[in-house]
Amino acid sequence: MGRTKSPCARAAALFLSGGGRRVPAFDESREEPMPKGGPTTIGFDADDTLWQNEQFFRATEQKLVELLADHAGGTDVAARLLEAERRNLGLYGFGIKGFVLSMVETAIEVSGGTVPSAVIAEIVAAGREMLAHPIEILPHARETLERLAGTYRLVLVTKGDLFDQERKLAQSGLRDLFDAVEIVSDKSAATYERVFSRHGDGPVRSVMVGNSLKSDVVPVIEAGGWGIHVPHELTWVLEHVEPPLGSPRFRQIVHLGELPALIERLD
């Protein structure tokens, strides 16, 4: 914008440049057949469904709390960070870069603008560490994908930063098991309508599998598809909603290893 940048602003600019509750078992007596046959397409979420993700955000959040211990004046840093993340989602979207910018913003706010540039530099460095962290595949992910590939169209449907999601997918070694990949800015009923119409036979013949009820389950059911919840021990608070227990197209499994048998029962 033509202004001279402070150390905090320079650090943020440098970063941008680089970088529950258990649901009761479903009563199969109320299972309904899908229109015109069973599912032909299965969508998979990525973060905390196929590989670990939230644990790295939690660890970095704790590091922020420690970095600001002498600068926050007793402020609940984690709560202020969550406020910033919620406020900034419409600007930065989902992903590590937006998270780091929210951490920088939080550091400036809770310190009244007095946070040292060295602390800002450490926040940016923590973000870079997140971007470079090796992928940790979750149990049953690979073998489940291998079992379903070839019988169903498999589509990865993930949201977040484009570069980071592409990096994680490449490192995972799972790319060749998918017929298509969609990296989206958000997940809504309209998103699933578009994705499953493009890569399948529409949402009514499609299943979406993921750890987030808000993003992976509820909207696909609204679009007419099946939503299968695979709970993860850590889920971001902004992804919490009540399970759609009244929907006959809602299912929950303990882990991905249970998925193939469930899909067969939907045929």
Is this model's pTM higher than 0.75 or not?
A: yes
Per-residue pLDDT at 61 exceeds 70: yes
The model's pLDDT over 181-200, given as tens digits with 9 standing for 90+, comes to 999 988 999 999 999 999 99
Residue 236: what pLDDT?
Answer: 63
CA nearest 174: which of 138, 206, 127, 218? 138
Per-residue pLDDT at 5 exceeds 50: no
CA nearest 264: which of 213, 230, 228, 231? 228
- 163: which residues sit within 8 A by CB, 6+ positions away? none
Per-residue pLDDT at 36 exceeds 90: no
- For residue 146, count other CB atoms closer than 10 A to its CB: 11
The model's pLDDT over 225-261, given as tens digits with 9 standing for 90+, comes to 999 999 998 776 766 788 999 999 999 999 999 999 9
Instruction: Give 7-70 as a DSSP string.
Output: HHHHHHHHHHHT--PPPPPP-GGG--PPTTSS--EEEE--BTTTB--HHHHHHHHHHHHHHTTT
